Amino acid sequence: MTGSQTACSIEKSRAFVKTFPIEPIDSGLLDGLAFAVKDLIDVSGQKTGCGNPDWSETHPEAVANAVCVDQLLASGARCVGKTITDELAFGLDGENFFWGTPLNPRAGDRVPGGSSSGSASAVACGIVDFALGTDTGGSVRVPASNCGIYGFRPTHGFVSVAGVNPLAPSFDTVGILAADPDILTKAASILLGTRGVEQIELGKVHVLREAFETSDPAVREALAEPVKLIRDLSSSRAAEISLKDIDIDCSRDGLRGWYETYCLVQWAEIWSCLGSWVDDVKPQFGPKVTVNFQLVKTLDRKTIPEAVRRRESYFRALKNFLGPNDLICIPTAPTPAPKKGSLGVDRTVDTYFQRTLSLTAIAGIGRLPQVTLPLALVDGVPIGISLLAAQGMDSFLLSAARMLAAKA
């Protein structure tokens, strides 16, 4: 089984803010491929709306492409338009108060996931070969899981974010969504600047127990077969591990400690990046984003040094644990896409956000690359299985993901 596309028109997908053709500026590895760009990323001649009408109104048209967009155009790909994002990329659901909810073609009554909602939808609907998203706390990985496609979050800092609106720079990345792992790999190699496919000699595969325990029983069951395939990849060198095998300190509070550490640093950064604009413009937000910005605004900033220390110590523990050719295996999300309209307004109360972020925070805190693969269904609804690799081992990770996809 591989990521499938459901043929669907642009109108039906409701994935786009705007469509327009931009031809490639040179020929290369991506000749003939079409891509879409999340409306958090600059495309020359277009306003970057960031999912909020007041943002559009208070910012000029972009006069340059983001570097990542130029990398693709200069490698033969053509751009077809800009896709809906959660407001300011601050969401995991994909229900934009102003722009609506892009179609999840694999489950029409469920959310596509966010914040790269339109990019996931455009790929899953077969409109483009791949799409650019951004991923701070899961914004590529979660919609890819929800929509049954592949999603790649690179090592932090390894893909240019120039021309991409910041949310929380210590975690912000530009990622890719695609239905075909070969296309995912090609587009990633252009953004990463790597040459050709990495020869792969797999080290250990660590299946993280707490990540599976956090997930729905039905998700664990659905992922049993992909996990078996992953274990088979490395024969006897796959093993279930627990957080305490990584490090005692970082296991004390379970994945909740990872979630909390991630949130504190992220919230501090979001208010530093966007607070001045919010305070100056007093924009209209949807209900969930209103609550989100209250949270980040009222954070006690005395807590920042300890949060950064904790992030550093978790990062260091993972770095010391994970061999250069090792992989970590976790569910991408603890549950398939929630029903539309079912998610609570307050993310500190709604357990969906806590459970999901406790999984996505691992790559964020560890600065690790992650690929989610669409290898399972729960009652016909997609759920992703994820592989993470060591910092900078992006090409290796993508090779492992392709190998796995070929066996699935």
From first CA to last CA, the distance across the chain in angstroms is 6
Helix, strand, coil percent content, the chain, rounded in steps of 5: 40, 15, 40
The CA–CA distances, whole Å, from 79 to 36, 60, 87 equal 6, 21, 22
Strand-strand pairing, 34-38 and 327-331? unpaired
Tell the smallest beta-carbon distance from residue 63 to its own copies (Å). Answer: 4
The one catalytic residue among 13, 47, 75, 115: 115
> In whole angstroms, how close is the CB of 74 to its own copies at the nearest point?
5
Q: How far is the CB of 205 from its own copies (least distance, A)?
A: 24
Report CA dihedral (67, 73, 76, 82) to the nearest 10 degrees: 120
CA torsion 46-50-53-55 (nearest 10°) is -90
Least CB distance to its own copies at residue 272 (A)? 3
Contacts to its own copies by CB under 8 A: 25-26, 28, 42, 59-67, 70-71, 74-75, 156-157, 160-163, 166, 168-170, 190-195, 265, 268-273, 275-280, 301-302, 304-305, 308-313, 319, 367, 392
Q: Is 272 a catalytic residue?
A: no
The DSSP secondary-structure symbol of 115 reads S
Closest to its own copies by CB, 195 or 380? 195
Q: Which is nearer to its own copies, 64 or 224 (CB)?
A: 64
Give the residue among 275, 283, 291, 267 at the shortest CA–CA distance from 343. Answer: 291
Gyration radius of the chain over CA positions? 19
Active site residue 139: yes
List 38, 47, 82, 288, catalytic entry:
38
Which residue in 119, 139, 215, 358 is the catalytic one? 139
Smallest gap from residue 45 Cβ to its own copies (A) = 11
Q: What is the DSSP letter of 237?
A: G
Q: Which is nearer to its own copies, 97 or 285 (CB)?
A: 285
Nearer to its own copies, 162 or 345 (CB): 162
Across the strands, what pairs with 130? 35, 178
Rounded CA separation 372/330 (Å): 9
What angle, rounded to 10 degrees, do the helices at 304-321 and 254-281 form? 130
Residues with a catalytic annotation lie at: 38, 115, 139
